[in-house]
């Protein structure tokens, strides 16, 4: 009887060790699953200076799932980069597709639209486009990943407020009057004004 108890005592730690090894073999399978986010490396830049009151299509934001599980992504405008440029307000940028899912290593291009309000101050503007995900974990924690790229633009002064057409008409009239005066002078014609 004592022999069986001794063998049983020796087997219990061995059984526990086998159970722990079995659990350890299962853990790496779940540990391999990863959540990741990536975006295009090049900044999103408005090619030409924008004007107050203008609306523009921006280059799309390339987003890739660098992880190994299907994940939902959200894109937002948030200033992360340092610089002397003015902060580009998030309200100016329309993210035309958001809250989308990507399969592992899947990618998409998110269309972007910029609307500059009429009273916008001329100058250089900077912000960042952030693609991020947050996945609830079974233990109540939240896992997530994010990637960002710069968003840059320049706003020119509102040239449409200058009355270019009126200025052109005035310059044209002055040039015509000067040309007429030169022609009359060279022709020898004299004009005499008589008051009655």
**Hunting for tokens 């391999």 — which residue is that?**
32
Domain boundaries, the chain: 1-32, 38-160
Which two tokens mark 167? 């200025």
Which two tokens mark 194? 């008589």
Which has the minimum average pLDDT: 101-110, 125-134, 177-186?
A: 177-186
Which two tokens mark 45? 């830049």
| pLDDT, tens digit (0-9, with 9 covering 90-100), for 28-78 | 444 577 888 889 889 999 999 999 999 999 999 999 999 999 999 999 999
Of 86, 93, 158, 156, the C-alpha closest to 125 is 86
User: How far is 26 from 19, CA to CA, in rounded Å?
Assistant: 11
pTM of the model: 0.62
Instruction: Work out the average pLDDT over 76-92.
Output: 94
Q: What is the pLDDT of residue 53?
A: 94
Q: What is the pLDDT of residue 172?
A: 64
Q: What is the pLDDT of residue 23?
A: 35
Q: What is the pLDDT of residue 179?
A: 60
Of 145, 139, 63, the C-alpha closest to 101 is 63
Q: What is the pLDDT of residue 17?
A: 33
Which two tokens mark 163? 């009355």
CB 121 within 8 Å of CB 155? yes
Which two tokens mark 1? 């009887």
From residue 81, give the alpha-carbon distance in Å to each of 44, 62, 87.
Answer: 13, 19, 10
When the candidates are 2.40.170.20, 2.60.40.10, 3.10.20.740, 3.10.400.10, the CATH number that belongs to 38-160 is 2.60.40.10
CB 92 within 8 Å of CB 116? yes
| pLDDT, tens digit (0-9, with 9 covering 90-100), for 117-172 | 999 999 999 999 999 986 655 665 556 889 999 999 999 986 544 444 555 666 66
């Amino acid at each position: 009887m004592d022999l069986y108890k001794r063998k049983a005592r020796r087997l219990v730690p061995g059984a526990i060790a086998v159970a722990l090894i079995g659990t350890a073999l299962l853990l790496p399978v779940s540990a391999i699953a990863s959540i990741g986010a990536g975006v295009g490396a090049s900044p999103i830049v408005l090619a030409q200076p924008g004007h107050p009151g203008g609306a523009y299509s921006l280059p799309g934001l390339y987003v890739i799932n660098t992880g190994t599980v299907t994940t939902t992504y959200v894109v937002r405008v948030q200033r992360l980069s340092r610089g002397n440029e003015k902060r580009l307000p998030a309200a100016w940028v329309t993210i035309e597709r958001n809250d989308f899912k990507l399969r592992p290593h899947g990618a998409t291009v998110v269309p972007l639209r910029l609307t500059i309000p009429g009273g916008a101050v001329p100058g250089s503007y900077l912000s960042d486009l952030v693609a991020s995900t947050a996945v609830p974990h079974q233990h109540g924690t939240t896992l997530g990943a994010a990637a960002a790229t710069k968003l840059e633009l320049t706003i020119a002064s509102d040239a449409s407020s200058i009355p270019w057409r009126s200025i052109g008409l005035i310059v044209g009239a002055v040039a015509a009057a000067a040309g007429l005066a030169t022609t009359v002078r060279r022709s020898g014609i004299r004009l005499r004004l008589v008051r009655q």
